Amino acid sequence: MEVETPACLGCGQSTWFTVTEDEFTRIQAGEHIQRVLPHFSAEDREMLISGTCPDCWEEMFAEDEDEEWADDDLDDLFKPFGYSLLDPESDDPTYDRDWYVD
């Protein structure tokens, strides 16, 4: 079946993708799109979720080249909220690998 993405917030463009009826039903039921469409690129999945095209995403979230974040900086950012970052290769038994997306 053909599915149209929402209009991109940056440029207003939408795109059409072909998915199976089963994939569409699973996404509509709330299953994580990474599990349903692992064969789609991250950019394509984002377009299906938010409509944001890769060019507009890059423009909206472009990092300042002078600004570099070290892992220590990120840890300091999240620690006040009780969170810490885990390496995707972590052996921590509480780490849910299903939530990590490349």
pLDDT band at residue 79 under the 50/70/90 scheme: low
- Average pLDDT value for residue range 71-80: 63
Q: Tokens representing 36? A: 């349903």
Domain extents in the chain: 2-86
Considering Cα of 99, then 97, then 58, then 75, what sign does the dihedral take? positive
Picking from 8, 3, 6, the residue whose alpha carbon sits closest to that of residue 27 is 3
Are the beta carbons of 11 and 57 closer than 8 angstroms?
no
- pLDDT, tens digit, for every residue of 27-62? 999 999 999 999 999 999 999 888 898 898 888 887
Our CA angle for 4, 6, 8, nearest 5°, is 120
Percent of the chain with pLDDT over 70: 61
